Amino acid sequence: EPEVTQTPSHQVTQMGQEVILRCVPISNHLYFYWYRQILGQKVEFLVSFYNNEISEKSEIFDDQFSVERPDGSNFTLKIRSTKLEDSAMYFCASNPGLVVFETQYFGPGTRLLVL
Amino acid sequence: QKEVEQDPGPLSVPEGAIVSLNCTYSNSAFQYFMWYRQYSRKGPELLMYTYSSGNKEDGRFTAQVDKSSKYISLFIRDSQPSDSATYLCAMRGGSEKLVFGKGTKLTVNP
């Protein structure tokens, strides 16, 4: 069964450094998402991406964040200057986008620790 | 009032018990409802999804939505130790954004 994959599984970085989290969505899916989950808290929506542009973003997704689909298979989340509070599990998800209702399939996550 | 509320538990039951998990919500625009299962330090795994009010059954799992009460439930029959996980409700309206509950941690004891 096709799955969303994410790399790396763990990332440790120093405050102020740039990080890029990578995702390979399920093939032929059209919608892509990033969510994050701070330890002990809810899964929170960051951004949705369709047709090579951001379709929706949350207030968390400020100018420090950016997303890109550099080729036909990868989807990346960049954090330009990491802060301590960016430490969280980051999940990528994708959605076929072919019918009115389709749900989102999540990857295993990247655990980001900012020191 | 929080948009989605879910009792975090923890909930501990003996093997074979019927488990009832619930969420309430405040946004009447929500019309798509999902249940995800999340094992420790893993990604959410889709269990069931429903549109609008009604019931949906899949094996030992039954999802119920009552839009008039803004209340959704997940029932697990004949619970197994392998069902031990955190169960997340999630919902959305017209946008793609999923809004999650905090999750209920379930332990099924052999």
Residue-wise pLDDT tens digits, A52-104: 999 999 999 999 999 999 887 899 999 999 999 999 999 999 988 876 567 88
Residues of chain B found within 8 Å of residue A35, distances taken between Cβ atoms: 98
CB pair distance less than 8 Å for A33 and B96:
yes
Mind listing the pLDDT tens digit for each residue in B75-94? Answer: 999 999 999 999 999 999 88
CB pair distance less than 8 Å for B46 and A111:
no
Burial call A70-82: b when 16+ CB within 10 Å, e when fewer: eeeeebebebeeb
Integer Cα distance of A97 and A25 in angstroms: 13
> Cα distance from A97 to chain B (closest Cα, Å)?
10
B interface mutation test: which of A43, A47, A59 has the most B CBs within 10 A?
Answer: A43
Cα B94 → chain centroid: 20
Mind listing the pLDDT tens digit for each residue in A1-58? Answer: 789 999 999 999 999 999 999 999 998 899 999 999 999 899 999 999 998 999 999 9
Q: Count contacts between A and B (CB, < 8 Å).
A: 55
pLDDT band at B8 (very low <50, low <70, confident <90, very high): confident
The whole-number pLDDT of residue B106 equals: 96
The whole-number pLDDT of residue A72 equals: 78
Q: Is residue B98 a contact partner of residue A45, using CB atoms and an 8 Å limit? A: yes
Mind listing the pLDDT tens digit for each residue in B33-73? Answer: 999 999 987 899 999 988 888 899 999 999 999 999 999 99
The whole-number pLDDT of residue B73 equals: 96
